[in-house]
Amino acid sequence: MSPIRALRNLGNSLGLAWWARIETNEPNVTYWFGPFLTRRSLKLRLAVFENDLSVENPQQIKHSLMRCKRSEPLTT
């Protein structure tokens, strides 16, 4: 396991990792994108992830950034 991945996993287990909760309408799906060590690194990657979701042609995509602990499932 890479040192960065180990740090992300540790941060997540402590509830210090940054995650994006992304909700789409039609289809109604909630995605979790993360974990990231910093809010800045999450924001840099978020646009690419949301662009990938646009292939599903959702009516709306909204997101919120938060520091929390997440585990599977990452899509609901």
Range of the domain at 43: 3-67
Q: Note whether residue 13 is domain-resident.
A: yes
pLDDT band at 75 (very low <50, low <70, confident <90, very high): confident
Alpha-carbon torsion, ordered 52, 67, 4, 45, to 10 deg = 20
Q: How many domains does the chain have?
A: 1
Q: Note whether residue 76 is domain-resident.
A: no
Q: Tokens 């995650």 map to which residue? A: 19
Q: Note whether residue 73 is domain-resident.
A: no
Looking at the whole model, is its pTM more than 0.85? yes
| Integer Cα distance of 23 and 32 in angstroms | 9
Q: What are phi and psi of 18, to 5 degrees?
A: -95, 135
**pLDDT tens digits along 39-65:** 999 999 999 999 999 888 999 999 999
